[in-house]
Amino acid sequence: MKPVPSIPVVRPFAGYIGVAREDITPPVGIYSRSWGAAKHDVAEGVHRPFTLTCVTFQKSPEDAPLVLLAADLGWWKSLDDERQFRNGVLEALSLKPSQLMMCLSHTHAGPSLSTENAAKPGGEPIAPYLRELGDRAVRAAQRAMKKATPALLSWRYDKCTLATCRDLPDPERDRFVVGFNPEKPADDTLLVGRITDGNQKLLGTIVNYACHPTTLAWENRLLSPDYIGAMRETVEKQTGAPCLFLQGASGELSPAEQYTGDVSLPESHGRRLGYAALSALEGMLPAESRLVFSGVVESGAPLAIWKRQPQEPSSVLRCEMVEMELPLKQLPSLAELERKWEECTDHVLKERLWRNRAVRKMVGDGSTARFAVWLWRLGDSLFIGQPNETYSRFQMDLRSDLSPSPVAVMNVTNGHLGYLPPRELYEHDLYQVWQTPFAAGGLELLTERTLRAARELLK
């Protein structure tokens, strides 16, 4: 007898889930220089509102929650600013560090998140904005917990072709440039989560996708969530429920068409991703159902019959924060970078030096850097967040090894340090290689240690 065909059992999470949102649109006039090629420093308007969306997960109303925050923001440039924000939220909500993930969308058309830029044009509003951001994060979490109701979280993998590889060999020089490489495939995996109550009413959606929000660049003078804004609107218009976006492992991924000041382009990109997310949602079975092979009916052709059968959800909820330490490259000291920045007169090189200074300040003057990886298990699924910009190989390896468990993978979570490209790319003149503070092999070490912790969590 041949084995009966089957689909692996993946249990949804059953518990108390709450969803809430706050508007976090930065003030016009705030310092928002993200591009070395930009000729301006401050934002002159708003393309779309910025949002902070919160989802809380609990086994019961009495249990401490896991708090997932997703914000339309770029990246932290100061360790002190990020720690002050996160510690404030942890204290206000009486959470342990393992219970909170603040995930940034990584838009490159947002405000500076560094109070060290206070003296620059438009720098004065940064500190008040960060304080307000902390207050609104706490408020969103409190409202989500207050609204929490018995619900189910289920998942579906799908595809979206928005992301392309952005490591392009320069046709004129022995180096790579950052832009669409039509000859190299990209990870197009889309993971969509669905939150439903006992009556199958949709309470919220989660979209986890890896693609740099770099559509709007140096010509743009507007604050914008980039393609995430139009994606969210597309999904929410159809579903009537909040949509939370989680930026995936997108170190080498971006749209093919980008670097513009034309806001119609991120609108188009966002609709593409939104339609793909809606297609994934449409293809999902009810959370407590699965397809089971039930036999063959002889007709004009022998017909395989698959039918829906009940599936038990899981109330398993676990969290862990794993400390990592990765070796650093040989880097200039902080004092040396500051001296070079003071002496530099080229505005592009000056911007690069300022970023290098910020990274060196965050990792310290030692030979290694410490950071954490957050792992949450909900039912048979995993959330894995970490602060670096890993290449997509990170999420591909995790998902392959941990299959059939759905794995949401997030870059730029609870901080930001640098890129983690694969080891073999370190021999090339490549932006992500010369930007990162980490030595070759860091991505592979991170993957190995994360997989070890994830396997334990799934036992």
Domain ranges of the chain: 13-286+313-317
The mean predicted confidence, pLDDT, of the chain is: 95
Does the structure show a pLDDT above 80 at 297?
A: yes
Residues 32-47 have a mean pLDDT of: 95
At residue 65, the pLDDT reads 97
Determine how many CB atoms are found less than 10 A away from the CB of residue 234: 21
49 confidence band (pLDDT: 50, 70, 90): very high
- Which two tokens mark 266? 């991120």
pLDDT tier, 331 (very low <50, low <70, confident <90, very high otherwise): confident
Q: What local confidence, expressed as pLDDT, does residue 336 receive?
A: 78
Q: Both tokens of residue 400?
A: 């392959």
**pLDDT tier at 279 (50, 70, 90 boundaries)?**
very high
Q: Which residue has the higher pLDDT, 449 or 346?
A: 449
What percent of the chain shows pLDDT beyond 70? 100
Dihedral angle of Cα 333, 335, 337, 341, to the nearest 10 degrees = 180
Q: Is the pLDDT of residue 120 over 90?
A: yes
Tell me: pLDDT of 443 over 90: yes
Q: What is the pLDDT of residues 184-233, one digit of tens each?
A: 999 999 999 999 999 999 999 999 999 999 999 999 999 999 999 999 99
Please name which of 420, 456, 411 lies closest in space to residue 440, comparing C-alpha atoms: 420
CA–CA gap between residue 17 and residue 152 (Å, rounded) = 8
In this predicted structure, the answer to whether residue 349 has a pLDDT above a threshold of 80 is: no
413: DSSP letter: B
Average pLDDT over residues 20-24: 98
Higher per-residue confidence, 122 vs 352: 122
pLDDT of residue 352: 74
Residue 13 makes CB contacts below 8 A (sequence gap 6+) with 57, 152, 153, 154, 313, 314, 315, 316, 317, 378, 379, 380, 381
Longest dimension (CA), the chain: 82
Averaged over 237-246, what is the pLDDT? 98
Contact 100, 90 (CB under 8 A): yes
- Band of pLDDT at residue 343, cut at 50, 70 and 90: confident
* Closest among 315, 346, 298, 349 to 150, alpha carbons compared: 315
Strand partners, 374: 321, 385
- d(C-alpha 312, C-alpha 314), whole Å: 7
Element (H, E) at 207: strand 202-209
The string of pLDDT tens digits covering residues 364-406 is: 778 899 999 999 999 999 999 999 999 999 999 999 999 999 9
CB atoms within 10 A of CB 310: 9
